[in-house]
Amino acid sequence: MQNETAKHTPGPWVVVNGGTIRADGGKRPVAMCHCSAVWNTSDSAPTRFECEANADFIVRAVNSHAELLEACKAMLHAFNHCESAEEAVSYTKAAIVKATKP
pLDDT, residue 83, reads 58
**Whole-number pLDDT of residue 61:** 92
Query: Can you give the length of the chain in residues?
Result: 102
pLDDT of residue 79: 72
Q: How far apart are the first and last CA of the chain?
A: 36
List, run by run, the mean pLDDT of 10-residue segments along the chain (102 residues).
Answer: 76 89 91 68 74 90 90 78 68 81 74
Q: Cα separation of 102 and 66, whole Å?
A: 17
The CA-atom distances, in angstroms, between 30 and each of 35, 42, 62, 99 are 16, 27, 12, 19
Of 69, 37, 70, whose CA–CA distance to 51 is shortest?
37
